[in-house]
Structure 1
Amino acid sequence: MVDERSRNGWFVWFSLLCALILSIAPIPEFLAVGRPLWLPLVIAYWLLMAPLRLGMTRVWLLGLAADLLYGTPLGQYALVLALVAFMVISLQQRLRMFPVWQQSLVLLVVFGLAQLLLLWLDSLSGNRPPSLAFLIPALVSALLWPWVFIVLHFCGRRLGVH
């Protein structure tokens, strides 16, 4: 008999790879300020719907891969993704009961705290001056959450991932 965890698990990793690619895809300069947090969005979805497929260690490793990809100091984005994963895992039972629009509001706070941590880490290293523009990606990501949820939920159900 096939192990339940191994059934179509490739789709989880494919969606995470797509999120990494979307994170570095070129966009016009005026839209770059509001670039969605694709990787935290997809990680939040999989931690909500199939928490056994993705754990803190895998999220940390994804964060290290993102650090290498973005050229940030090693561990910076890994720490931010670990914070997102911790908050989503700790709120998972409650979030699953909420409608998608309420999940979006909770994830706005989660992504906002992650962006605040990223801003703090960037300002410690002297890379970016503090401004309120760091909240724009969190807001855009929260607005995109219903669409990401619908697409991943449809594909995940179709492939039997959850």
Structure 2
Amino acid sequence: MAGRSGKNTRAACARRIGADRRHAVIGATTQHKKRPLLNILVSFFLAFSVAMIPFPPWAEVYRPDLVSVVLIFWCVYQPARVGVVSGFASGLILDVMLGSPMGQHALAKSTIAYLASRFHKRISMFPLIQQMIVVGVLVFLDQLISSVIRGMLDNYAINWKYFLGVFVAMLFWPWLFYLFAHLRRRSNI
């Protein structure tokens, strides 16, 4: 009988260890699922913070639209988590932060989010130079939509200097691409 109870305790101990391992794996999986969302939210927070930094009047035309660049990145590389709804929400937040008419940036951001999500497989396969061009086209479209809406509401004439920020946004793309790619690898996104 002593031998049987020894086997039973070993089996019970093995079951407990197996259960502990399963709980540890489940906890780790849950933690990894929360981390990508945190990275996405922090990147948007930083982009919104840069959008609020005051620039001198002469440098205002060179302001990159980093919210659009971050939105495009996450729509291309995380289309299941970031899409049109995220674009609309980020546009509304930008409308409130900048005091622009409600929906001006929301329409523009949701449009580029749709296009980036729709063609995410193609864009992700492009070399970095072609991705920069696609980002430039999408940011240009974003600013064009915002300018047209602003022109209809405020009788505002479109100034082509306003689009110089597109080139600066294109230059930011490789840096943000490598930074976010590093974050994606570290977070197992």
TM-score, normalised by the number of residues in structure 1: 0.92
Within 5 Å, which residues of 2 pair with 1:40-55?
40-55=68-83
Q: Work out the CA distance in 2 between the residues paired with 1:42 and 1:15.
A: 7
The aligned counterpart of 2:148 is: 120
**1:32 maps to 2:60:** yes
Alpha-carbon distance change, 5 to 79 in structure 1, aligned in 2, over 3 angstroms: farther
* Aligned-partner SS, 2:80: helix
The aligned counterpart of 2:91 is: 63
CA-atom RMSD in angstroms: 1.5
Q: Work out the CA distance in 1 between the residues paired with 2:58 and 2:180.
A: 28
Shift of 1:5: 4.2
Q: Work out the CA distance in 1 between the residues paired with 2:156 and 2:185.
A: 41
The answer to whether the 8 Å contact 1:67/1:76 transfers is: yes
Q: Work out the CA distance in 2 between the residues paired with 1:57 and 1:28.
A: 33
**1:151 maps to 2:185:** no
Shift of 1:42: 0.4
Q: Work out the CA distance in 1 between the residues paired with 2:155 and 2:97.
A: 17
Q: Work out the CA distance in 2 between the residues paired with 1:33 and 1:159.
A: 35
**1:79 maps to 2:107:** yes
Q: Work out the CA distance in 2 between the residues paired with 1:113 and 1:41.
A: 12
**1:17 maps to 2:42:** no
Q: Work out the CA distance in 2 between the residues paired with 1:25 and 1:156.
A: 27
Shift of 1:85: 0.3
Structure 1 moving runs of 4+ over 2 Å: 1-8
Q: Pick from 149, 163, 166 the counterpart of residue 135 of structure 1.
A: 163
Structure 2 unaligned segments of length 5 or more: list them: 1-25
The answer to whether the 8 Å contact 1:47/1:88 transfers is: yes
The answer to whether the 8 Å contact 2:76/2:124 transfers is: yes
The answer to whether the 8 Å contact 2:76/2:120 transfers is: yes
Question: Number of residue pairs matched?
Answer: 161
The aligned counterpart of 1:106 is: 134
Shift of 1:12: 0.6
* Aligned-partner SS, 1:128: coil
TM-score, normalised by the number of residues in structure 2: 0.79
Q: Work out the CA distance in 2 between the residues paired with 1:114 and 1:31.
A: 20
Tell me: higher relative CO, structure 1 or 2? Use CA pairs within 8 A at least 6 residues apart. 1
The answer to whether the 8 Å contact 2:88/2:107 transfers is: yes
Is the radius of gyration larger for structure 1 or structure 2? 2
Shift of 1:130: 1.4
Shift of 1:127: 5.7
The answer to whether the 8 Å contact 1:116/1:134 transfers is: no
* Aligned-partner SS, 1:60: helix
